[in-house]
Structure 1
Amino acid sequence: MHCTDASRGQKLRALAPSHHRSPSLNPSSQASRTALATALMRSIHSRSAPAPLLDDTWGERLVPDAVRTAFRERALVRRDASATGTLEAALDDAMRANAAYPDVILRSRYTEDALQDAVARGITQYVLIGAGFDSFVCRVPDWAQGLDIYEVDHPATQPLKRQRLAACGVPPSASVHFVEADLSAESLGAALARSPFNTTQPAFFSWLGVTVYLTREANLAALRDIATCAAHGSELVFTYIDEAALHAGPEAFQKLRSDVAAVGEEFLSGFDPKTLGPLLRGTGLELLEDIDGHAALARYDPAGRNGLQPAGAAHIAHARVLSAAPSPAA
Structure 2
Amino acid sequence: MKNKSLTALVSAFSRAYHAELNQLKIFDDSLARQLLTDEEYEGIAGNMSQGIAFFQPGFVGTQEQALRRVVDHQLSPSPLGRAAFAEQALEVATVHGARQYLIFAAGYDTFAYRQPEWASKLQIFEIDHPATADDKRRRVAALNLDQPSNLHYISADFSEPDWQSRMLDSHAFDLSVISFCSLLGISYYLPKDVFKSFLSAIAKLLPSGSSIVFDYPDEHTFTPQAGERTQKQVMMTARAGEPMQASYSYAELEHMLEDVNLLIYQHLTPAQITGQLFQAYNDSQPGQPITAFDNVNYCLAVKR
The residue correspondences of 1:199-218 to structure 2 (distance < 5 A) are 199-218=175-194
Q: Which residue of 1 aligns with 2:4?
A: 31
In 2, Cα distance between equivalents of 1:236 and 1:221: 14
Q: Which residue of 1 aligns with 2:246?
A: 269
What is the identity percentage for the equivalent residue pairs of Structure 1 and Structure 2? 26
Q: Which residue of 1 aligns with 2:214?
A: 238
Is residue 130 of structure 1 aligned with residue 105 of structure 2?
A: yes
In 1, Cα distance between equivalents of 2:270 and 2:237: 18
Q: Which residue of 1 aligns with 2:56?
A: none
TM-score, normalised to structure 1, is: 0.82
Q: Which residue of 1 aligns with 2:291?
A: 309
Question: For 2:32, which of 40, 45, 59 is the aligned residue?
Answer: 59
The residue correspondences of 1:146-295 to structure 2 (distance < 5 A) are 146-195=121-170, 196-248=172-224, 249-295=226-272
Q: Is the 8 A contact 2:278 2:291 kept in 1?
A: no
In 1, Cα distance between equivalents of 2:265 and 2:204: 18
In 1, Cα distance between equivalents of 2:156 and 2:271: 35
> What 5-or-longer segments of structure 2 have no aligned partner?
54-58
Q: Is the 8 A contact 1:253 1:313 kept in 2?
A: yes
In 2, Cα distance between equivalents of 1:153 and 1:63: 18
In 2, Cα distance between equivalents of 1:135 and 1:165: 9
Q: Which moved more, 1:203-212 or 1:260-269?
A: 260-269
Q: Which residue of 1 aligns with 2:44?
A: 71
Q: Is the 8 A contact 1:44 1:57 kept in 2?
A: no
Deviation of 1:101 after TM superposition, in Å, equals 1.8
Q: Which amino acid aligns with 1:258?
A: M
> What 5-or-longer segments of structure 1 have no aligned partner?
1-27, 323-330
SS of alignment partner, residue 157 of structure 1: helix
Per-residue deviation, residues 101-126 of structure 1 (Å, max 9, x unmatched): 21211111000000000001111110
SS of alignment partner, residue 302 of structure 1: helix
Deviation of 1:140 after TM superposition, in Å, equals 0.7
SS of alignment partner, residue 251 of structure 2: coil
Question: For 2:85, which of 104, 110, 118 is the aligned residue?
Answer: 110
TM-score, normalised to structure 2, is: 0.88
In 1, Cα distance between equivalents of 2:93 and 2:162: 25
Change (3 A) 1:279 1:230: same
Q: Is the 8 A contact 1:152 1:179 kept in 2?
A: yes
Deviation of 1:250 after TM superposition, in Å, equals 2.3
Q: Which moved more, 1:116-125 or 1:60-69?
A: 60-69
Deviation of 1:35 after TM superposition, in Å, equals 0.5
Change (3 A) 1:91 1:133: farther
Q: Is the 8 A contact 2:113 2:147 kept in 1?
A: no
Per-residue deviation, residues 179-209 of structure 1 (Å, max 9, x unmatched): 0111111445312112111001111000011
Q: Is the 8 A contact 1:187 1:225 kept in 2?
A: no
Q: Is the 8 A contact 2:81 2:273 kept in 1?
A: yes
In 1, Cα distance between equivalents of 2:163 and 2:204: 9
SS of alignment partner, residue 53 of structure 1: coil
In 1, Cα distance between equivalents of 2:164 and 2:50: 44
Deviation of 1:90 after TM superposition, in Å, equals 6.5
Q: Which amino acid aligns with 2:298?
A: I
Q: Which structure is higher in helix share?
A: 2
Per-residue deviation, residues 129-156 of structure 1 (Å, max 9, x unmatched): 0000011011011111121100000011
SS of alignment partner, residue 279 of structure 2: coil
In 1, Cα distance between equivalents of 2:38 and 2:162: 34
Q: Which residue of 2 aligns with 1:11?
A: none
RMSD of aligned alpha carbons: 2.1
Q: Which residue of 2 aligns with 1:7?
A: none
Q: Is the 8 A contact 1:41 1:95 kept in 2?
A: yes
Change (3 A) 1:226 1:102: same
Q: Is the 8 A contact 1:53 1:105 kept in 2?
A: yes
SS of alignment partner, residue 294 of structure 1: helix
Per-residue deviation, residues 19-45 of structure 1 (Å, max 9, x unmatched): xxxxxxxxx332111101111211222
